[in-house]
Homo-oligomer: A and B are copies of this chain.
Amino acid sequence: MFGHLGAMVRARAIQNESVVLRSLLEVGESMSALTDRQQVLELVLREARRLAIAEAGTLYVLRENRLKFVAVQNDRLDISQVSRGLLGHELPVSGESLAGFVAMTGLAMNIEDTYSLPAGTSFRIDREFDAALRYSTRSVLAMPLICPGGPCVGVLEFINHIDSAGNVGPFPAEGIAGLESLAAMAAVTVYNHLLQDQLRQAHLDTIMRLAVAAEFRDDDTGEHVRRISRSSAMIARRMGLGESQVELLQWASPMHDIGKIGIPDSILLKPGRLTDDERLVVQRHPQIGADILSDPQNELIAVAREVALSHHERWDGQGYPDRLAGTAIPLSGRIVCLADVLDALISKRCYKAAYPLDKVMGIIRDGRGSQFDPDVVDAFTDISPDVVEPYLRPAAD
């Protein structure tokens, strides 16, 4: 019986009788493809609809006590049209909507016909969607996404069950147990995403606070840091960078001047003009920043280091510390360079008044191809009203 080496089993496609099991596995497995969050949510909804045999469906995620539409699918309507109207929208957790009622009570609701609800039903069905898109929402099954022993993290809504004859009918009660299993899996998926978002958010919060702290001596409001983060991300997005790269720059750019921590008060806070020697001391801050961020263990710190070191380089090679020119300067540094100069020009500083907007725009245009990467200037110019908007609010200084 014993006595020989067992068969080597290659990992292979899972073959299993149970559709439920297969769907569950696909939902579970999809969690590993975390690089595209939206894709995972769409997959969860698609697998769930396949199991429920539903013509349409919506996945809501609960954040800050509001239900957000995160995935919307409909086999009978032009989905781009449907999504445009709904994605990003929110519902309160209340009887004002079916999904809100389900999230509020933690109860699944199986409605055979939304057009024949009895009087006094404790939630409202929104008819605007049907009217606007000439659609008929007949049967609806709405289930809370509850982590076992944990919080409600969202709602899964199935619309219009298609029966074996191909007609719209009520969702059969006997299929609900399997759907509940799937809802539990989906809840765990969504919960993991929420947890990861919370971790990312906490990290960003720490970066902002400590970057603000590092500039405390010459800007105790931290507005400079926040504005540069925002402007850099907007310009990067306009230049066509992927959302993960945009996010990296948004997080890394607040640390661009961290090296100023190494510049003595006597120079950093000097009211008048700097001597040549003093200017050389100030120009050490990119290298000090790069030293603080040296030997990066993750991508964020790597980009932050790149930005800290290169944000005073110039397109024409006349910048510092390394006199790099053109595309030898990292794109992150070229973008933050413009965002930094913009912020300096447009803000009031202890040694100068704020410049008027048209003068600022003129200076930046003049720097196109000399101080600045022409592509960065062009991207900024395309969206400049949005970028400068916070500077023009009465509260900004």
Chain A residues packing against B (C-beta within 8 Å): 1-12, 14-16, 18, 20-21, 24-25, 28-29, 31-34, 106-113, 115-118, 121, 138-139, 141, 144, 146-150, 169-171, 173, 176-178, 180-181, 184-185, 187-188, 191-192, 195-196, 198-203, 205-207, 209-214, 216-217, 220, 255, 258, 261-262, 264-266, 288, 292-293, 297-298, 300-301
Contacts and interface: CB of A to CB of B under 8 A. Distances in A.
Contacts of A206: 203, 206-207, 210, 300-301
A8 B112 CA distance: 11
Contact of A7 (B110, B169, B181, B261): B110
A24 to B, nearest CB: 6
A100 B21 CA distance: 30
A134 B210 CA distance: 56
Contact of A261 (B20, B110, B191, B217): B217
A180 B14 contact: yes
Of listed A29, A146, A169, residue having the most chain B CB within 10 A: A29
17 contacts: A2-B116, A5-B112, A8-B108, A14-B181, A15-B177, A24-B24, A31-B188, A32-B187, A32-B191, A199-B203, A206-B210, A210-B211, A210-B255, A212-B292, A216-B292, A217-B261, A217-B262
A280 B176 CA distance: 69
Of listed A10, A28, A201, residue having the most chain B CB within 10 A: A28
B2 A138 contact: yes
B209 A293 contact: yes
Instruction: List 5 tightest A-B contacts by C-beta distance, closest first.
Output: A2-B113, A210-B210, A6-B110, A32-B147, A265-B265
Contacts of A201: 297-298
A109 B184 contact: no
A111 B5 contact: yes
A163 B181 CA distance: 30
A3 B293 CA distance: 66
A111 to B, nearest CB: 5
Contacts of A5: 111-112, 117-118, 121
Contact of A150 (B6, B32, B138): B32
Nearest to A171: B6
Given A106-B11, A116-B3, A209-B292, A33 B297 contact: no
Contacts of A110: 6-9
Nearest to A33: B149
Given A29-B148, A29-B184, A184-B25, A292 B6 contact: no
A171 to B, nearest CB: 8
Contacts of A214: 210, 213-214, 261
A177 to B, nearest CB: 6
B6 A111 contact: yes
A298 B202 CA distance: 7
B6 A170 contact: yes
A20 B216 CA distance: 58
B10 A107 contact: yes
A8 B188 contact: no
